[in-house]
Chain A
Amino acid sequence: MTRYILTRVLGAVLMLVVTSIVVFGIFFIVPRLAGQTTDQLAAQYVAKDPSPEEIAAIKQKLGLDQPVVIQYGRFVKGIVVGREFQFGPDTEYCPPPCFGYSFKTQRPVWPDLVDRLSVTFSLAIGASIIWLVAGVSIGVLSALRRGTFFDRFAMIIALAGVSLPIFFTGLLSLALFKPTGVNYVPFTDSPFEWAYNLLLPWITLAFLYAALYARLTRAGMLETMSQDFIRTARAKGLPERTVTTKHALRATLTPILTLFGLDIGLLLGGAVLTESTFSLPGIGRYAIDAIGNNDLPQVLGVTMLAAFFIVVANLIVDILYAVADPRVRLS
């Protein structure tokens, strides 16, 4: 088990290194292939009508005048041991993990990411609880009452949930239920206000996922219920309740769990559409701005964070697999 976890962690770190190299490559090499010079790259970070001297100064300050390999080396060094920046009268030390200073706002990237993570985390945690509980229970009920009115109705709603994009359901629910808008309040300031304001984004986001989970659970349950071991369980004379919850549901949950882990990982990397629609200052909004501004340190920071969550979620899911499904054994 320890050996398994260790190899997976090592793989995860390698994955993150590859991700950062790819982002660096896209930022520096792709524009160069399209014929862009470093001067043109640097000119984006100065006011309109920059003089050649200004461009040279900004290039030097941002380190864009160095070869890409050295810039990448500096980036890695910052994450591991921190870096020093000269952005005013004094030299600033940026402690590890230092993702550098934003080219546009000239603020260190990491503290901003941590600050926004609380918003994204709040959104993800509430929504995921709602969709997991609602999605799985509707799915199970639908499967058990296959063909009934409840089943058909639930599946039509689920179809709507999967099909309607979040910027539509989000704007619609805002207009209907909260035209005054959603104002994020940190949990530590007021847990009630926090939950009250996040309720609408939670439900909107959960609607999309719950629908997906309901359909998956229903299909999984139907398949499991026709398996031999269920027949055996029934033949043993187990009560129907034990058959469905202890045997069928447990087997159905394994793929749902995988999906759940990955979805949470993805969400923590930023629920871009939900955060934009409800104007929540989370990682997703940050990512959009970073890309819009072509702000390399911000893009790198947000990509690495998102990749980190995906990798970690994958790892946890793999370990939980063994716990949830007795048929899976780690060697």
Chain B
Amino acid sequence: MNRRKLTSITAAGLALGLLASCGGGGGTDNNGATGFNAAAERVVNQSTKTGGTLQGALSSDWDSIDPGNTYYAFSWNFARTYGRALTTFKTGAGDAGLELTPDLAQGLGEVSADGKTVTYKLRPNIKFEDGTPVTSKDVKYAVARTYARDVLPNGPTYFVDLLDAGDYAGPYKNKDLNAFTGIQTPDDQTIVFKLKQPFGDFDYLVSSPQTVPVPQAKDTGAKYLEHPISTGPYKVDSYVPGKEFILSKNTNWDASTDPNRKQLADKIDIKLNTNAEDIDNRLLAGSLDFDVAGSGVQASAQSKILSNASLKENADNVFSGRLWYFVMDEKVAPFDNIDCRKAVQYATDKVSLQTAYGGPVAGGDIANTMLPPNIVGHQDFNLYPTPDNKGDVNKAKEALAACGQPNGFNTKILLRSDRPHEVSAGEALQQALAKANIKAEIVSVPAGQYYTRFAGAPNYMHQNNIGIAFTGWQADWPTGFGFLQQLVDGRTIKPQGNTNIEEMNLPNVNALFDQAAASKDPAQREQIYGQIDKAAMEQASVVPFLYGKGLLYRNPQMTNVVISFAYGMYDYSILGIS
């Protein structure tokens, strides 16, 4: 429902954008193209103007610019300016940005009948920045090096987990690439992935920068981040961790081989570790074009933007793809009883939690499902409706009676002490639960080890009788599988680093994941994802309350600005400057 609505808005937006660009007549079109949320609906300031320097900034350090060793959404988005993966997300507003399109490859993967072999053919004439042609072996090598977890520890381990490669330990211990059996390269243009079991979302997996080709002769291991060899429209001029990252045009990038990207600005200059308030001031003053992190401006800039019409028309309030939720551990009494869990579902005042996270603009929209609206598979439903989402004490007390605790019970809420929003949310929840006679004590722990020692360690939860734990989640790729598997598939429960904190282990939910993995039909998979969401919510141990949103500001000088739904921020692969 919601998805369809978004699609129609997108279509209308595109139509408007086309009309506006017809009226503009020239290369640049500035008239009437901007407006609040415009970049969520169409490509703003469409232009083919070249030249200039795009100025970016990041309030933190980058984890790594090595495409095989990075794990932030903004980094994956930005990596597309200097690296081409086998597939990528389409450029476009709304749901279009969630569609996969071939990038290095000529088409999406060809899956064998048993689902265990996926084959891609590379486009011809793609070159590295030094002019040498890209071959399938360079892609194979790029994936092989992600097996060296001791050297490149940051990236995800999907390939390591999925590919049928025995106990291969990466190319640094054994330099012979033939030892890596998970991928075969029958010729320079063909790459064949061998999977342990079928995996429906494989095309999404290869959109990660881990498939950006790396020439074995140029690989310097952990030092490769100093100069990753480019295949995209830009190449790395210099990268100093914690300081700056500068790129310039890659002359060996050929637009005719790349329908997805643009090469407009001469340079991209990113300052790292810039003070967050300073970034906002620079954005509003026009000396900065974009905040690379893409998570939105700080509170003081929010109020400036929202109260000033001329600033507001250059701002976008968009879904980040993040879900804020809390869980009840099914192994900790009394939450081993589904009715006790339902009591909490009904007692929760989601509006107060939304306020704790900064309200509708800075925080996000109230959530009643696990899948956010910008994830493939999202369906609108609400299994535990309460008036205005403010909680229903009567229904909560009915559920309490059903679970044999008519006078309420005591429990503990676990949260991260250094996350101010989470702390306020924990207090808001405590108050809401108290109205239904559920007395909750707040236990706050440091965020740094939340998943390795506390919420992510089931033993800790059991031993300390932690019934409720706050958490948040963002998918590695925007489908129900990428989003939900680590949260509700019972087979992913781990002694530490566990993200299935509620310890949900339902045979029917687990089976649905297998069905989705085996399915070759995207429409069918999308449907299964919705079913998983519903089945997990019926278990009542997860309470989603917010689809995270951020207020992004775009410098009006920036051209071709559009929100990529896949990353929940501006699409960095087509930006220019006027």
Contacts and interface: CB of A to CB of B under 8 A. Distances in A.
A285 B221 CA distance: 27
A88 B221 contact: yes
B541 to A, nearest CB: 20
B278 A105 contact: no
A136 to B, nearest CB: 31
Interface in B269-285: 271-275, 277-279, 281-282, 284-285
Contacts of B539: none
A183 interface: yes
Interface stretch (A1-9, A13-21, A276-284): A276-284
B275 A43 contact: no
B220 interface: yes
B383 interface: no
A44 B172 contact: no
Interface in A247-299: 276-279, 281, 285-286, 289, 294
A285 B281 contact: no
Interface in B175-221: 175, 219-221
B462 interface: no
A181 B281 CA distance: 8
Nearest to B452: A43
Contacts of A87: 151, 221-223
B277 A171 contact: yes
Interface stretch (B124-132, B153-161, B325-333): B153-161
Interface in A70-94: 87-90, 92
Contacts of A51: 157
Interface stretch (A52-60, A225-233, A234-242): A52-60
A44 B449 contact: yes
Interface in B229-258: 240-244
Interface string A214-233: 00000000000000000000
A105 B275 contact: no
Nearest to B272: A281
Contacts of A105: 61, 64, 225, 241-242
B268 to A, nearest CB: 15
A163 interface: no
Best-buried of A48, A171, A277 by chain B (most CB within 10 Å)? A48
Nearest to A62: B150
Contacts of B225: 105
Interface stretch (B107-115, B361-369, B404-412, B494-502): B494-502
A48 B497 contact: yes
A122 to B, nearest CB: 14
Contact of A285 (B156, B242, B451): B242
Interface residues of B, number: 54
A40 interface: yes
A56 B394 CA distance: 51
A146 interface: no
A88 B153 contact: no
Interface in B129-181: 149-151, 153-157, 171-172, 175
A99 to B, nearest CB: 15
Nearest to A45: B153
B275 A61 contact: no
Given A89-B219, A278-B275, A112 B224 contact: no
B418 to A, nearest CB: 10
Contacts of B277: 171
Given A88-B219, A89-B220, A281-B242, A47 B150 contact: no
A140 to B, nearest CB: 36
Interface of A: 36, 39-40, 43-51, 53-54, 57-58, 60-61, 87-90, 92, 101, 104-107, 112, 115-116, 171, 174-175, 179-181, 183, 276-279, 281, 285-286, 289, 294
Given A47-B71, A92-B223, 4 more contacts: A40-B496, A88-B151, A106-B222, A179-B281
20 contacts: A39-B496, A47-B157, A51-B157, A54-B150, A54-B153, A57-B149, A87-B221, A88-B221, A115-B243, A171-B277, A174-B278, A174-B281, A179-B287, A180-B281, A181-B285, A181-B288, A278-B275, A279-B271, A281-B243, A289-B60
List the 5 closest A-B pairs by CB distance, nearest first. A88-B221, A180-B287, A87-B222, A106-B222, A179-B285
